[in-house]
Each structure stands twice: as structure tokens, then as C-alpha cells.
Structure 1
Amino acid sequence: MAPDQDLEDMSADALRVEVRRLRAAIREHRDATGHALCWHHPRMWALLPEGVDPEIEVPEWPRFLRGCVAYRESLDRQAPGAPRTDAEFER
């Protein structure tokens, strides 16, 4: 089946339900803060009807940490007025 072909067979009511479900997930992701900004998000991907398990590549530690630092630096540029926290990550 072609991606999004399932939408063709949905009623208007079913499409509205789907849009609300996707918007809720997007808002949850958008509203993530603190340490949650850095996480792998398979729940978001699971919203797609394809149901594939993405094969991820994980960078070696030094490269991974450089990426984390670059991401955190981008937050300074994109949200310079965001409050800062000193909360530790908890598993």
C-alpha cells in the first residue's frame, strides 16, 4: 500500500479523529522540555500506519556528545530567553 493510501478510505469523521490524534502527539512532542528534549521518540513514529521499526544508527560517544553540544547550542540561539534548569536526569 502506498503511504497515506489509508486516508482515501476514511470517512470525514474518521479523518477528524486521526487529525486530533496526530495533533495531540505533535503537541506532546512540541511541549517536551528539560531532558525530554534529547530522547529517541518511537512513540511518535508509531503513529504512522506503516508500523515499521526504524533502524537507527548510534554515533560513537565522542561524536554523539558533539551532536548533543551542538543541539544545546542551537537552543541558546533559537530560545535565548528560555528559563534554565539544573535538574538532573532521572531514569
Structure 2
Amino acid sequence: MDDDLEQMSRERLIAEVKTLRLGIREHRDSTGHDLCWHHPALWSLLPEKSDPLPLVPDWPQFMRGCIRYRQSLDEQAPDAPRTD
């Protein structure tokens, strides 16, 4: 899957790393509801070009997942600023 890396020059590998880091930073720096969105721009950084359709849970199951995610933020980032 990552055989393309073997053929890249040092300069191309550095450029690839910088591109990937930028994508990761953009995702990391997302806030609020932007954290919950479908992220095809991030996945497009991979060499395999695929944008699979997500399996979308029904609303009750989806909302339970959102609540679990928000609860995990209380545990993992209890001092993070809050919005209203």
C-alpha cells in the first residue's frame, strides 16, 4: 500500500511529510462542531484515492455517539474552554 514511498527522493519525502503534517494540523485545530464532520480533505492526503461513503447510523444511535464523544472531552480535556 505504501510502496510509493520507496521510490520517492529525499526531497519528495520531505514535501510529503509537510503536506501530511499540514492536514493533521488543520484537523487538530478544528474546534466546535467542525470536529464532527466528514473529512474527505484529510483522507485525500493518502495516495489511494478513495472517498468511501460513511455508514450513517440512525439518529438515536448517532446522538448517543455524539454524547459519548462529548463526555470523552470532559475526561480528556477537562480544562478546555467551553462555548455556549
Same structural fold, with TM-score higher than 0.5 when normalized by the shorter chain: yes
User: TM-score, length-normalised on structure 1?
Assistant: 0.89
- In the alignment, the residues of structure 2 paired with residue 4 and residue 55 of structure 1 have an alpha-carbon distance, to the nearest angstrom, of 23
The match for 2:41 is: 43
Separation in 2 of the partners of 1:33 and 1:55? 23
RMSD (CA atoms): 0.8
- The aligned length equals 84
TM-score under structure 2 length normalisation? 0.96
2:66 match: 68
- How many angstroms does 1:55 deviate by? 3.1
Equivalent of residue 26 in structure 1, options 2, 24, 27: 24
Partner deviation per Cα, 1:23-72 (whole Å, 9 max, x = no partner):
01101111111111111111101111110121310000000000000000
Q: RCO higher in 1 or 2 (8 Å CA, sep ≥ 6)?
A: 1
**Structure holding more helix per residue:** 2
Q: 2:4 aligns with which of 3, 6, 9?
A: 6
Structure 2 residue runs without a partner (length 5+): none
Structure 1 residue runs of 5 or longer lacking an equivalent are: 87-91
Identity of aligned residues (%): 64
